[in-house]
Chain A
């Protein structure tokens, strides 16, 4: 092997390791900055604490964990059925030409910046909720609606791929024994694509948990555990973004510790999702 060949191979191997290196750096820096906080304040009073007021030295992140949980749950309730419905239509029922137009359109939704979603939420959804349902408008419901729309592209494209991966023979077999298309889809295609659809749901969940700017603009950001869907909430991501600009000392460490919590949640979701995707491929 000549030197040029060897050189190319070495360079490409090093380049191939970039993403692993970046991942390692991210984990190292976030955990290193957050770890001293856990040592000082204690994991229990951080995760379990219900009061967040950095001025008084109170760092309880439970309201934000609850906030992220409720908002994400709401987003899934809205986005998953809608996204799955879309994917089903595109993959099973839509005429080829219609699907060819609709699919890129839905992918465009993925390209719209999150601040634009937040802004629409702020100027359209929040006033609507305030006028029709009461409360401040900035709420779990507003966040769930915005996030529910934002996860649609992920939900649609991954479930679409899962549905397309079901062999055509399955559908033909059902039609041959006298089922109509809808029966074929619900009794054979959907169960066969189950794990891929589950992965789509989990990855959408990851997106919803991780979304920041759109949620800040519509959630109201109060550090309380919401009592109803019309109450304001603050998510883990918003907590970091809102206070990072001026935080110092222990307060800043607390925000990085929030980042650690977020990171662990997202990591767990991704590992679960990946195991589902892998099962499907095999």
Chain B
């Protein structure tokens, strides 16, 4: 913004009361500073972990088994554990979340019932992960007798992911132009046929983005996993075996001071995985917004 020019005091009420000298300058610099600071923090966190961890991230570390509680050796079982836990939770949560979104957008009008479903989803989104951990422990681990296992952990994580998947899928479904649906109906398609052959395929890239983002959060989750999937360092053989995921392993290494060196390495692997997942999601989102500039309203 240009500084106020000299005409201010020339005539009219301005002659008596000069406006304050361009207050916008300072304010704008301030908010710009906020943005710079935030990005700086992000860059610092990623840079710090990556630089410190890069040295440790060798093939031997990635593919080796931990020895002496993780003081030496690698993190292979934790990588396997994290991948299987995350995939299992996506397999459980994605159909439920997408189904809920389809139900909300295509199968019901705004009313009491849809409000209840929305209330449930939104409330679930606000619940802290430690509460999910307690619940998973009580319900899946003890009540249903699944013990500390990939199964218990992934069911708990699935419950946590559900709101994210519902919300992003709903957004994607709502952005499908009505004309597409109207055309399908005009051709004599039934509701389900319209959903399955027109609405879902059109919204799929958006839905996939949401699922991937939810997956990114699941990869890094600790509090909900530590009480449901356990902290065993052994390589899991089935979904009924306990695992120690990367964030849990990292947490134990760092907090109990077992090996700060390996903690950095684990953190770097974890962060790379999360960033990779996030970038994949943004890449897909970017591509659809480029491909269909007109279709989105």
* Chain A contact residues, CB within 8 Å of chain B: 1-2, 4-5, 8-9, 11-13, 15-23, 25-26, 29-30, 33, 81-86, 88-90, 92-94, 102, 104-109, 111-120, 122-124, 149, 152, 156, 180-183, 185-186, 203, 206, 209-213, 216-217, 237, 240-241, 244, 255-256, 259, 262-263, 266-267, 269-270, 274
Contacts and interface: CB of A to CB of B under 8 A. Distances in A.
15 contacts: A11-B99, A12-B102, A16-B108, A94-B35, A112-B271, A113-B270, A116-B45, A116-B270, A182-B28, A212-B128, A213-B222, A262-B130, A262-B131, A266-B126, A266-B128
B164 to A, nearest CB: 11
B129 interface: yes
B111 interface: no
B109 interface: no
B35 A266 contact: no
Interface string B123-140: 110111111111101110
B274 A111 contact: yes
B120 A182 contact: no
A213 B251 contact: yes
B124 A22 contact: yes
B220 A30 contact: no
Contacts of A186: 27
Contact of B254 (A85, A92, A152, A217): A217
Nearest to B22: A180
Contact of A8 (B41, B138, B192, B213): B192
B39 A240 contact: no
A104 B25 CA distance: 26
B1 interface: yes
Chain A CB count within 10 A is highest, among B22, B23, B103, B267, for B103
B222 A12 contact: no
Contacts of A19: 100, 117, 120-121, 124, 162-163, 166
A122 B254 contact: yes
A55 B126 CA distance: 33
Given A115-B250, A266-B126, A16 B104 contact: yes
B204 interface: no
Interface in B196-241: 213, 216-217, 219-223, 226-227
B42 interface: yes
B24 A15 contact: no
B107 interface: yes
B38 interface: yes
A89 B31 CA distance: 5
A112 B28 contact: no
A114 B195 CA distance: 38
A26 B127 contact: yes
Contact of A16 (B117, B190, B278): B117
A75 to B, nearest CB: 14
Main secondary structure of the interface of B (DSSP, over half): helix
A30 B219 contact: no
Interface string B89-128: 0000001100110111001100000001101111110111
Contacts of A94: 32, 35
Given A180-B1, A262-B131, A113 B222 contact: yes
A244 B226 CA distance: 10
B191 interface: yes
Contact of A182 (B24, B131, B250): B24
Nearest to A107: B278
B222 A124 contact: no
Given A18-B100, A109-B42, A213-B251, A114 B220 contact: yes
B126 A269 contact: yes
A248 B255 CA distance: 23
A63 to B, nearest CB: 18
Contacts of A210: 126-131
Chain A CB count within 10 A is highest, among B22, B120, B247, for B120
Given A19-B124, A115-B220, A88 B31 contact: yes
A29 B128 CA distance: 15
A274 B122 contact: yes
B278 to A, nearest CB: 5
A111 B275 CA distance: 8
A23 B124 CA distance: 6
Given A105-B42, A212-B128, 9 more contacts: A85-B31, A86-B34, A104-B282, A111-B216, A111-B217, A112-B46, A180-B22, A210-B127, A263-B127
A269 B250 CA distance: 31
Contacts of B255: 216-217
Nearest to A88: B31
B120 to A, nearest CB: 3
Contact of B220 (A17, A113, A216, A255): A113
Nearest to B129: A212
Contacts of B129: 210, 212
Contacts of B278: 107-108, 111
Given A89-B35, A210-B129, A113 B103 contact: no
Contact of B28 (A83, A93, A118, A213): A93
A123 B49 CA distance: 11
Contacts of B260: 123
Given A20-B117, A180-B24, A210-B127, A106 B38 contact: yes
